[in-house]
Amino acid sequence: MAGSRKLAREFTLQGLYAWHVGGTDVTLIIANLAEDDQFRRADEDYFRTLLYGVLKEEDLLAGHLAPALDRPLEDLSPIERGILLIGSYELARCPDVPLSVVINEGIELAKKFGGTDGHKFVNGVLDKLGLALRPIEAGQRKQR
């Protein structure tokens, strides 16, 4: 169900924020997020895949992102960093999620949780990353 993955991404972003800002134990982060009434509507398996995947592969994902960024990943707001790490993970590890969905979901997360023009930045970075990680799909997208 599409909405449940959308919520999974939102909870993943909240979990990454807690991790980067507070350094809280991931088990405690998940327990706190699970107390939210909306959590049961999220795709919990996808949430765990994203959260654990991003945390496990953060250095690799940061390496994918570096050429598409105009500054170090660490200099981004925790929200933008989290969104881009989620998008990078989905582009690299979730081939069932179309490039356009990854970009659109990143934009929506940035509009909901980020700064005023953060969605434009996220769009540009994920677009560049899509060209690098999924060149065939990105080429087909550009031809439309």
Per-residue pLDDT of the chain (144 residues; tens, 9 = 90+): 456 999 999 999 999 999 999 887 999 999 999 999 999 999 999 999 999 999 999 999 999 999 999 999 999 999 999 999 999 999 999 999 999 999 999 999 999 999 999 999 999 999 999 999 999 998 886 665
Q: What is the Cα–Cα distance from 88 to 130, expressed in whole angstroms? A: 9
Kindly tell me the burial class for residue 90, based on how many C-beta atoms sit within 10 Å of its own C-beta (0-12, 13-18, 19 or more). Answer: buried
For the domain made up of 2-143, the CATH class stated in words is mainly alpha
CB-based contacts of 135, cutoff 8 Å, min separation 6? none
